[in-house]
Structure 1
Amino acid sequence: MFHSIVPPYLLEQLERSASDPSLRARFRQSLQHDAVLRARPAAGRETAAAAGGRQCKVYDADNGTDLPGTLVRAEVDDPSQDLSVNQAYDGTGATWTLYKECFGRDSIDGAGLVLTSTVHYDRGYANAFWDGAQMVFGDGDGEVFAHFTSSIDVTGHELTHGVTQYTANLAYDGQSGALNESISDVFGSLAKQYAMGQSAADADWLIGAGLFLPGVRGVALRSMKAPGTAYDDPRLGKDPQPATMSGYVDTEDDNGGVHLNSGIPNHAFYLVATELGGNAYDDAGKIWYGTLTSGNLSETATFKDFAEATQTTARDLFGDSSTQLAAVTKSWQTVGVLEDQTRLMNAAQIELQPSTPPSQPPAPSTPRE
């Protein structure tokens, strides 16, 4: 159960474009590690205390690959002198707080699971991942990526893979895999927004803002507001995410385009949240969370399945005539997942209209005397 924040196609592009042999080797090593980790079964899970509640633990791999490493900070400890340790602790804590205070969920499993993180994984490792049991952060390659602990939304994204694992358990392939990725982006962004007290209008809607080092032409790994615009750099290439179904990428790479096509449901959520206004973790977040945890999604759910499920959740929470249901419907229509019935009806009416004007009626006959 390996899920990384940086997709393999981006690391492959960086390996191809790197002119420095040592930098090329770092990206190749990151790719090789990821390939091994995808094939490795998840590590054993640490159980929570009976009382549940927030329990964050941060370990240090000391640039090795043995997990979890040496425990360096837990709930009772003062802040560390190591910035990465504190960032990992704060990010996991912020994610726990979002789920607890906004959705009533105690940790990612709903039963107080300890949130375990490991920092300083390997040397120059350019990624962060959820392995089915814990979070793992690399320090970055030093040229393109900074430390992966620096973005709360990255931590929230990876931990949300755990929430999906314990709830809908969406298959990591094709559209269900893209939904898996999108849900992680949604709640990763919400974790940052909640921690920073941002409304939907105030939020940047970026995933991984701050990961790129100076000189990289990009603002983040992904943009939910404008998929396809997060970066455009000679080393990275151009952000390939589509925002609507018209740009859907049919590919066998990246588990069927899970990091690519996630831009479509990402944009749908952004449209719902900004249409409703206020805080995205309120009504919009409750609709997405209710859908994820409803038990009504199959593991192979398509975009349309998920869109219709969010309509059902919005209807159940807010009613048939609610602005929330209208916003959900409109957003999925805008990204091309659901058909716009009004537009279809108008098109049908136009089609039924005659193409030439009717002939003139005959002149009235002269009355007989």
Structure 2
Amino acid sequence: MTSRKHVCHIVPPYLMQRLDPGRLDQDNGFRAAREEHLARVLAQVPAPEAGGTAAEVGDWTVYTAGNGTDLPGEKVRAAGEPESGDESVDEAATGITGSLALFEEVYGRDSYDGRGAEVVMTVHYDRDYANAFWDGTQLVFGDGDGKIFQRFTKAVDVIGHELSHAVTEHTAGLVYQGQPGALNESMSDVFGSCLKQRLLGQSAEEADWIIGQGLFTESVQGVGLRNMLEPGTAYDDPELGKDPQPAHMDDIYDGTDDNGGVHINSGIPNRAFALAAKAIGGSSWDGAGKIWYAALTGSAVTTDTDFAGFAAATIAAAGEHAEAVTTAWSEVGVTPASEAPATDGEAPTVVRVRRSGGFLGRTKEGVAELAPSAAGVATVRNLLAGGGAPSKPKGADRYIYEFEVDGRSVVVHEGDLTPDLHALADELLEK
């Protein structure tokens, strides 16, 4: 799968705007510069040869930017080396060691790319930098501004959160916009919280479910950046304002700020996970965590999967815990995609699939009325919006699919079928 690279920050832009609008502009400038640089680098670097040697499992290096912005900076400590005496460096080392162990020992994943990639981290980034981020190549942590935020390596779940962005990038590749972006953020909170609970030896029932506990200075009226179990209650401060996260679909944010509310609406799937973890019992990382990881890395979740689609994927992966997971999503107002009815004003859409070609050269057709939100329908509409140009054949004797929605059609060759289009075709051709 081709990974999609985004610069993903732990502190949402609506907080940065309140704290220091100038810093937000600077932050956006850094982001644009990094993405431009990354695009140039990726265009010049050839793909690794098959059979190449990957970095050793658990390989990581911590650098310091020395309160500058050049990355990665000066090397301070690598895996297997003793503590450096620099608090931020050693906290980063502890956090990344635990994060890599979580993914390897619990989920069987070798580093963020599944191939043992070295993790590069930089601490002491910029002056008074109150944020942490994954930029598509490495993790970066600021020291905080000393007024609102302390150093960002202090909360181990922040380290797990940022590494999890890299995992998502190399698996489902959820786009950083709207509901897929909120799921992207939620996945990072999920595994960041699992890391924290695992290191503390807590059960799902014992956990506090706070993300970023310890980041705020004593002057702030709040316990952390987010509360997964009770979204909207993490802080209520004269300077920061009130935590805006919704806990239910009835209150979902539908504006354009924060990439369509990726840090805001993540409260909804966050709460679903916390409720599922508590209902399943035991440890979150071994119970609900395995279900969420299976969904994230399975074929049902793609770049534009929304809450309903992800809910369906987790239920499908839940096995004996399907009822607990279904109930958790229901409590936050999310109906799994396979059960989602057409919303008010959205009449069922007539969808037609025609399959031709193949070794026998036979044609088969299927048609059904589906909700506009059904899996695959949105993908067809996106293809049509992009011009509807047919894909190119991928080998002889393979099938050719023609998808028709709203009276318009697009041709997709078998080798270009996405998982949701494949599922849509199978469903209609079996009718």
Normalising to structure 2: TM-score of the pair? 0.72
Query: C-alpha separation between the residues in 1 aligned to 2:250 and 2:240?
Result: 24
1:125 aligns with 2:119: no
CA displacement, residues 237-267 of structure 1 (integer Å, 9 cap, x when unaligned)? 0000000101101010100000000000000
Counterpart Cα distance in 2 of 1:203 and 1:28: 37
Q: Structure 2: 5+ residue runs without aligned partners?
A: 1-5, 342-431
Change (3 A) 1:38 1:332: farther
- Aligned mate of 1:12, from 2, 13, 17: 17
Deviations 1:105-151 (A, max 9, x none): 11111111111100000000010000001100000001000000001
Higher relative contact order (CA 8 A, sep 6+): 1
Structure-1 residue corresponding to 2:331:
334
Q: Flag the structure with larger Rg.
A: 1
Q: Percent identity?
A: 53
Q: 26, 34, 40: which one pairs with 1:32?
A: 26
1:312 corresponds to which of 310, 316, 322: 316
How far apart are the structure 2 equivalents of 1:192 and 1:295? 28
Query: Which structure dedicates a bigger proportion of its chain to strand?
Result: 2
Residue correspondence of structure 1 range 330-369 to structure 2 within 5 A = 330-338=327-335
Matched, 1:76 2:80: yes
Matching of residues 1-369 of structure 1 within 5 Å = 1-15=6-20, 28-38=22-32, 40-41=34-35, 43=38, 50=54, 52-314=56-318, 318=319, 322=320, 324-338=321-335
Give the corresponding residue for 1:20: none
Unaligned runs of 5+ in 1: 16-26, 345-369
Q: For the aligned residues, what is the CA RMSD?
A: 2.1
Q: 1 CA distance for matches of 2:66 and 2:195?
A: 28
Change (3 A) 1:157 1:73: same
- Residue type matched to 1:74 in 2? A
Deviation per CA, 1:152-209, whole angstroms, max 9, x where unpaired? 1001111100000000000110000000000010001001111121110111111100
The Cα shift of 1:34 comes to: 3.4
- Partners in 2 of 1:49 and 1:199 — Cα distance? 38
Amino acid in the other structure paired with 2:333: G
Q: Secondary structure at the match of 2:61?
A: strand
TM-score, normalised with respect to structure 1: 0.84
The separation in 2 between residues aligned to 1:298 and 1:76, in whole angstroms, is 37
Aligned-partner SS, 1:72: strand
CA contact (8 A) 1:49 1:112 kept: no
Shift in Å, 1:49: 5.6
Shift of 1:225: 1.0
Using the alignment, how far apart are the partners of 1:220 and 1:160 within structure 2? 19
Distance 2:315 2:280 in 1: 15
Task: Give SS of 2:63's match.
Answer: strand
